[in-house]
Structure 1
Amino acid sequence: MTPREKGNAATLALMGPEQSERLAAAAASNTFGSDIAGYAVDHVFGNIWTRNGLDQARRSLITMTVMVALRQPHEFGLHMNFALDHGMPLDEIEEALIQMLPYVGFPAISGVMLIATKIVAERGLDKKSNYTGHRGLL
């Protein structure tokens, strides 16, 4: 199996068909950015995400912590969804956010809380579904 085939299979398993096909199409397009998408498919997903040692949910959890530190809420949200899709319990994600507090600070955690709470609501994972208050820090 080529790195591209391995990467496409990994993205399909991780992201589902819609996002996986979009990334594969970008990598194959021979347009601006196609080489970057190709490196992501071949190396990030084909070589790293397919390694033994960690399951997909934990790889997403690790990636979420990096995205919090880098203040990348969109990427955080993608990986939060991937982790939930692969069986990571919501309370483990919340516990990871708490663990990060002393290391990345409240502003970095606050930066992902809006998207995290949106995902929780969209998936119906709220402990109290009728709660309409803000679930972020401020």
Structure 2
Amino acid sequence: MAKSAMHKKGSAVREELMGKAMASKMATTVYNDPLMEGFADWTREAVFGLLWTRPGLDLKTRALITVITDTSTAAWPELRIHLRMARNQGWTEAELGEALLHTAGYIGAPSVREALLVAREVFEEMRAEA
């Protein structure tokens, strides 16, 4: 089936945020069956095509917001993905650590502790890949 213009727009934004290698890896490991392909198509249109491209905030700011919302909802697998996106958009490890620490007063230490542990792993992986 032909992909919509919004799907194509979302795919481009997704690749920009994730990087080509990560986007390709996810396509072959996570979204490689009909059940997950439907979800991937929806997120490319609705999330990346519509939300991430709205005027008013840049991609860097949106990436930080997403890291914070993942932390506050305990979405640890998503946090791994979004921390990479945030680093790709220019946030430093120190800035992301401080942003996560700041949330402890509002969402609680246990979630922030887990987020920092996830961040430590992701940052180590990214340094090893570089």
* TM-score (norm: length of structure 1): 0.76
After superposition, residues 1-138 of structure 1 pair within 5 angstroms as 2-21=5-24, 22-23=26-27, 26=31, 31-124=34-127
The number of residue pairs the alignment matches comes to 122
Q: Secondary structure at the match of 1:32?
A: helix
Amino acid at match of 2:90: G
Contact map agreement 1:11 1:41 (CA 8 A) in 2: yes
User: Please, what is the CA RMSD of the aligned residues?
Assistant: 2.3
Measured after TM superposition, the shift of residue 52 of structure 1 is 2.2
- C-alpha deviation, 1:123, in angstroms: 4.1
Counterpart Cα distance in 1 of 2:94 and 2:31: 35
SS of match in other structure, 1:33? helix
Contact 2:6 2:50 in 1 (8 A): yes
CA shift, 1:13, in A, is 0.7
Contact 2:100 2:116 in 1 (8 A): no
**TM-score, length-normalised on structure 2?**
0.80
Q: Where in structure 1 do 4 or more consecutive aligned residues deviate above 6 Å?
A: none
Cα distance in 1 for partners of 2:10, 2:114 equals 30
Which residue identity lines up with residue 49 of structure 1 in the other structure?
Answer: W
Q: Percent identity?
A: 28
What amino acid does structure 1 have at the position aligned with 2:35?
Answer: F
Q: Deviations over 1:65-103 (max 9, x none)?
A: 111111122211211111111111222212211220011
With a CA cutoff of 8 Å and minimum separation of 6, indicate the structure with the bigger relative contact order. 2
Structure 2 unaligned regions, length at least 5: none
Native 8 Å contact 1:23 1:41 kept in 2: no
For structure 1, the 5+ residue unaligned runs are 125-138
Q: Secondary structure at the match of 1:52?
A: coil
Which secondary structure state, in structure 2, belongs to the residue aligned with residue 58 of structure 1? Answer: helix
CA distance in 1, matches of 2:125, 2:35: 34
Structure (1 or 2) with the greater helix fraction = 2
| Deviations 1:18-44 (CA, angstroms, capped at 9, x unpaired) | 3334449949x6x12332221101110
